[in-house]
């Protein structure tokens, strides 16, 4: 006769932790949050386009005073800043963190040191970004530029998140022996640079130097975030997903290391090029412009290495998935690198200063080059994170073509608008908001951002369908996958 178990004889029930610590939980959560930020960034971008078309309507609709000089204030400047912040710190940074926490265990052959710590970093980082963007639209909580200026308390919370992310990464990477695979070198430098730039701009003694110095510091920080963090994470992600998807080894590890060293040297020099002010010595600004031009070389080396890795597998471009996204990313990186080099010339700077040119080049780089790199990562990683089969369905086609057409249309429309506006200013005129050419380009930019939002929504729906209806599939756990050699050494 079987004895009935008493309550204290029963095994304890397994309780779920408030902070997930399962393998790949950090990568999965960061990626889902990133997709939500992509939709938010595209929505803010459409608002920025609408503000250019109907400034008076938006002022009446959104600007609400609360008294004592505080209220909601929607202007072209703060909407542009909110758009760039949501794009860089919301979508791209979260996607980059997801890539780092997915790739690192698979290249080191060891599980991530602590998914729980990484998830705490996710909470702190995203609360800080959301609060910082919300404060951009509060009158009285002014800022001087995007990608750099947040209130001190918000920066403190963001720094806590970055410390957690860095801790989880470095505790996993440092115990390994030998030179890490090239992706990990880009990720490591990018994470340290992002932490260092935020810490620099959060030091009270630095941020109270004065208006001009504030402007210069924030310009340097913003440019450094783009060159060290976003560009580095983008190239590092491509160096992982392209060899994995093609099953070809990386074409040249020596060429990859040379491109890395060039990026490491010229990315910081390029950031100095943002110090455009009469108080800055001419030789320093010239060095910065030279750095922007020289940064073209390592970018082209990385692009050539990636294209050579795809060699022999070009047929993969004909089917939707990782290689289509990766190839689109490489094409956008090439065009953006050329446009940034042209934009560094003093004559072009004088023509396009204060116009939509800079934002257009930024859109091509961020919504084109970086976004498609992380689309490629998502296509490769999501089935492995969720342990479910990934069907390349009509939504993947919609995601690719909507986002591709949207990024091209929005980026080049803004660039064209900037050139027209700059030409009018160069002739001594004032741009008329009702100018038909400017209106046409700005309508096109708004339409392009709408298409990007549609592509992001297609990705979100596909993730939901994969989670709810995907067939179970077996994938190796991060700790048991092969080490760097399988990724292209």
Write the pLDDT tens digit of every residue in 33-45. 999 999 999 988 8
pLDDT tens readout for residues 380-422 = 999 889 888 766 678 888 899 999 999 999 999 999 988 888 8
CATH number attached to the domain at 21-487: 1.20.210.10
Tell me how far apart the alpha carbons of residues 365 and 187 are, in angstroms, rounded to a whole number: 18
User: According to DSSP H, which parts of 54-114 are helical?
Assistant: 55-62, 76-85, 93-108
| Of residues 189, 371, 352, the one with CA closest to residue 266 | 189
Pairing of strands 138-139, 64-67: unpaired
3-state DSSP assignment of residue 245? helix
Distance CA 219, CA 205 (A): 17
Residue 317 tokens read as 């471009």
CA 232, 476, 186: angle at the middle one, nearest 5? 10
How far apart are alpha carbons 361 and 418 in whole angstroms? 10
Report CA torsion sign: 263, 149, 361, 38: positive
Please report how many Cα atoms fall inside a 13 Å half-sphere around the Cα of residue 351, on the Cβ side: 15
DSSP state of 7: G
Query: Which CB contacts under 8 angstroms, 24+ apart, belong to 11-17?
Result: 17/116
Residue tagged 């979508």 (tokens): 91
Give me 144's structure tokens: 């001087």
Indicate the domain borders of the chain.
21-487
Q: How far apart are the first and last CA of the chain?
A: 62
Residue 86 carries which DSSP code?
Answer: I
Please state, in angstroms and rounded to a whole number, the distance separating the CA atoms of residues 469 and 124: 32
Q: Which residues pair with 70 in a beta bridge?
A: 67
- Residue 473 makes CB contacts below 8 A (sequence gap 6+) with 383, 387, 388, 389
The low-confidence residues of the chain, meaning pLDDT below 70, are 1-21, 55-74, 138-149, 204-216, 273-282, 284, 390-392, 428-435, 474-489
H/E run at residue 303? helix 296-310
- Joined together, the tokens standing for residue 379 give 């296509």
Q: Which residue has the tokens 């038909």?
A: 436
Burial class (CB in 10 A: 0-12, 13-18, 19+), 163: middle
């Amino acid at each position: 006769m079987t004895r009935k178990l008493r309550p204290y004889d029963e095994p304890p029930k397994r309780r779920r932790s408030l902070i997930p610590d399962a393998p790949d939980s950090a990568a999965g959560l960061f990626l889902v949050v990133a997709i939500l930020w992509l939709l938010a960034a595209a929505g803010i971008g459409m608002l920025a386009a609408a503000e250019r078309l109907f400034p008076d309507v938006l002022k009446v609709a959104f600007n609400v005073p609360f008294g004592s000089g505080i209220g909601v204030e929607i202007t072209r400047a703060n909407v542009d800043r909110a758009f760039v912040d949501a794009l860089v710190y919301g979508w791209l940074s979260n996607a980059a963190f997801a890539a780092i926490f997915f790739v690192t265990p698979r290249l080191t052959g060891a599980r991530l040191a602590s998914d729980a710590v990484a998830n705490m970093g996710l909470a702190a980082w995203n609360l800080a970004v959301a609060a910082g963007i919300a404060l951009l639209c509060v009158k009285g909580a002014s800022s001087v530029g995007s990608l750099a200026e947040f209130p001190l308390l918000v920066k403190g919370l963001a720094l806590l998140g970055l410390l957690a992310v860095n801790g989880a990464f470095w505790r996993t990477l440092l115990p390994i022996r030998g030179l890490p695979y090239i992706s990990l070198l880009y990720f490591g430098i990018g994470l340290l640079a992002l932490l260092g730039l935020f810490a620099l701009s959060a030091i009270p003694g630095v941020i109270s130097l004065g208006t001009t110095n504030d402007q210069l510091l924030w310009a340097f920080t913003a440019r450094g975030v783009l060159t060290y963090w976003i560009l580095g994470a983008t190239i590092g992600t491509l160096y992982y997903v392209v060899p994995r998807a093609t099953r070809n080894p990386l074409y040249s590890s020596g060429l990859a290391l040379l491109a890395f060293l060039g990026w490491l040297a010229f990315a910081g020099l390029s950031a100095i090029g943002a110090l455009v002010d009469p108080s800055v010595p001419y030789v320093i600004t010239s060095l910065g412009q030279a750095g922007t031009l020289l940064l073209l070389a390592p970018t082209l080396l990385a692009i050539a290495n990636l294209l050579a890795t795809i060699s022999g597998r070009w047929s993969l471009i004909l089917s939707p998935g990782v290689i289509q996204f990766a190839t689109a990313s490489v094409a956008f990186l090439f065009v953006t690198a050329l446009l940034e080099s042209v934009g560094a010339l003093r004559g072009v700077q004088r023509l396009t200063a204060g116009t939509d040119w800079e934002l257009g080049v930024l859109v091509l780089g961020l919504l084109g080059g970086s976004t498609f790199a992380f689309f490629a990562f998502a296509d490769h990683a999501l089935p492995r994170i969720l342990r479910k089969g990934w069907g390349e369905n009509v939504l993947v086609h919609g995601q690719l073509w909507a986002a591709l057409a949207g990024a091209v249309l929005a980026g080049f429309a803004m660039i064209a608008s900037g050139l027209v506006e700059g030409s009018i200013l160069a002739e001594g005129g004032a741009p008329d908001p009702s100018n038909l050419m400017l209106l046409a380009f700005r309508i096109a930019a708004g339409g392009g951002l709408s298409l990007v939002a549609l592509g992001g929504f297609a990705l979100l729906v596909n993730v939901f369908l994969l989670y709810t209806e995907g067939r179970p599939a077996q994938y190796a756990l991060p700790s048991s996958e092969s080490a760097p050699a399988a990724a292209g050494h």
